[in-house]
Structure 1
């Protein structure tokens, strides 16, 4: 996650047939260039996946072991979302694209679909805050290089994702989104484009966001609601979330355990954390609430004829109890599948992860894998 929730309103959520083996999600209706819905050839939906940061999105990335990838594929995972740092692409425009191509080729040979996610670094996030126009140029320059990497990779299993959590206002992002789509299309006419709404790719941000004028696209949403639960005990930035622990799921504000947590924070003089818990649980957070959020996504999808994927959702494993964690994960996965929405979990082996190390098959969290895959 790397602190990407910074600046997000504390009381706003972040982020019937099950999908299997990359079946088509919606039969692939999409928008034509004129903006009207039209039929298009069926496209596979990437799903049943996980995010794999820290491999190609860093100068000295940590590659996963091939035996680990093989075990994950055999277990039933089908998709890998691969974050890519655009600044690294520009800085090392020869070697980096080659390494990236090799990583994607390795994954596809193992049978994975791959989402190639343009994932801004902290440096690029900061650039957007200082000069969004100049930062947008950097993203366009990165895609001018990255599109050539993707161009000769399989159209059915490799998905260019235009920009993760676009750090800009909605109207500015829509202009950049359309330019990026046009740029990628110049080299990748048949690949399915993935994009999400600005700024956090939240469910509340997609409602008034129009899809691309493109026949082959997927809208991507992130789901981390309620944030006080999914990010409790976070360590990467100064936040009241770092001081919240032992918050269960499901949860309502009236539960004695919740009242005790709030009282303890207030007694410690931590009004900020206490208020955050109360705001996050102003509406009970239950499986039904999650289901309601995903039904709303499905309605947007049907209205716009644009398929949807939740390509980030997860719970930090720092201080949450295992049952609450797996209950939430299972609830999100089931809600996605019930509404014909694809999914990839954030993340494989770090704070939100479900295996101990990407270089060892020794410790896989079977309860989390069961929650994710339903086995």
Structure 2
């Protein structure tokens, strides 16, 4: 009699819950240079008071180091990142500390792997002793271009080994190729490590969420796309099924590390509809969702008006605030 395949070992889901990205803050070339503003402790207090459980903090590292061994990170920058993490933790938020826009790794992944690993060694040492239940490391945002599943594990091995030397059981997050789109999960290779957690990003349909976004040039999606069409509804059902299948196959529950729609050409009410539909659709899977972003480009918080944009908190399942 043929034996049935062994059931996958179940890995408890990372308790991301309702999450927001600190977008366009520490991942530009300089803090806040993409039209944002430096983050302060009151921002995290506001995020917590709104009901968010987790904040994802994208950080650009490669331009804050030398490009030659031993690749020291600028001390002032490391101090600043630590201050921001400390402020978020003090607000009783979970923190995902993410390496974002480590640009050379996408062009020459294996050639840059040692440099990337050396940076993570310094990050790991700086955050030695921090609580494991509330601070998690994401090794690299949205692998793309030459950084793909054929070299993903080999490229990330120096970083993972550097982290594990001082954080043997801390949660480490890995996303897949092609900008970590949902379809990357189907072939995402992961290390044999019980504390590795998969992630994916969701900006579908891209022609809707990124309409008129200049940074997508030369193929900028035209303005005017509406959501949802019947095709969008069917695609959303299919994508939910992909997550359910992934969990059943691997025993791991991924989380949605980024999701959002561009505010310049999409009215706030329509953006709220998009977030609500996605939240309700994916709710049965039990995944956490990190919305993009707090206060700049795809914002939830309106800095000028000093308020949460109408309907956006309710869309992600939180109480509306005056």
Asked if these proteins are the same fold (TM beyond 0.5), I'd say yes
CA distance in 2, matches of 1:163, 1:48: 21
Name the TM-score, length of structure 1 as normaliser: 0.74
Structure 1, unpaired ranges of 5+? 1-34, 253-283
Aligned position for 2:218? 239
1-structure distance, mates of 2:126, 2:275: 34
Q: What does residue 68 of structure 1 align with?
A: 43
Give the match for residue 212 of structure 1.
Answer: 191
Structure 1 position 298, deviation (Å): 2.4
Question: Residue 236 of structure 1 aligns to a residue in which SS?
Answer: helix
Q: Could you say what secondary structure the match of 2:136 adopts?
A: strand
Match of 1:86 among 61, 64, 74: 61
Contact 2:10 2:251 in 1 (8 A): no
Distance (Å, rounded) in 1 between the aligned partners of 2:305 and 2:44: 9
**Structure 2 spans left out of the alignment, 5+ residues:** 1-5, 67-72
Stretch deviating more after TM superposition (360-369 or 187-196): 360-369
Q: What's the counterpart of residue 308 of structure 1? A: 254
Change (3 A) 1:349 1:174: same
- For 2:7 and 2:153, the matched residues in 1 are separated by 18
- Which of 74, 85, 91 is equivalent to 1:104? 85
* Count of aligned pairs: 301
TM-score, normalised relative to structure 2: 0.85
**Are the counterparts in 2 of residues 247 and 320 from structure 1 also a CA contact under 8 Å?**
no
- Give the C-alpha shift of residue 230 in structure 1: 0.3
Query: In 2, Cα distance between the equivalents of 1:323 and 1:53?
Result: 21
Matched, 1:140 2:121: no
Q: Spell out the pairing of 1:1-375 with structure 2 (5 A cutoff).
A: 37-38=8-9, 44-57=14-27, 58-61=29-32, 62-91=37-66, 92-121=73-102, 124-125=103-104, 128-129=106-107, 131-167=108-144, 168-242=147-221, 244-252=222-230, 284-286=231-233, 288-357=234-303, 362-375=306-319
Do the aligned partners of 1:248 and 1:321 also contact (CA within 8 Å) in 2?
no
Structure 1 position 135, deviation (Å): 2.4
Q: Is the alpha carbon distance of 1:83 and 1:132 closer, same or farther for their aligned partners in structure 2, counting shifts above 3 Å?
A: same
Q: Is the CA contact (8 Å cut-off) linking 2:26 and 2:59 kept in structure 1?
A: yes
After superposition, what is the alpha-carbon deviation per residue over 1:118-170, rounded to whole angstroms, capped at 9, x for unaligned?
1124xx24x632x3332223211211211112322110010100111123121
Aligned to 1:20: none
